[in-house]
Structure 1
Amino acid sequence: MLTLCVIYELPATQAAQVLGVPLGTVKSRLSRAKTKLVSADEQSQHPLASSASDSIAERSSR
């Protein structure tokens, strides 16, 4: 799901269709993944982790 929406830049509606799940499921799972990535980023000092979570947060807010 995260791969479809972030890497392949599919809108949540299309990801839901591809996966055969309700749109709300996609949105809630993306939100949960974003929260986990931000949390992991805050605990990490790796410079690439910050840019990855920023990119995901930006794309999921579209």
Structure 2
Amino acid sequence: MSEENRRTIAMCEECGALYAAFEITAGEFRPIGQRDGCQCGCTEFTPVDDDSGLSLD
């Protein structure tokens, strides 16, 4: 993982759980601290819109 990976909030495409995540490549997200993906078993994530009001800061 590169220092250039952007931190964001990503949502599991199956159950909707939210995770702090790294954007590994354009459109590919990896939850921080969850090597195997979501607790429901899904490994596909969608970025949360900046307009959601959620923040990692």
Name the one with the larger helix percent: 1
Name the one with the larger strand percent: 2
Which structure's CA Rg is the greater one? 1
Fold similarity call, TM over 0.5: no
TM-score by length of 1: 0.23
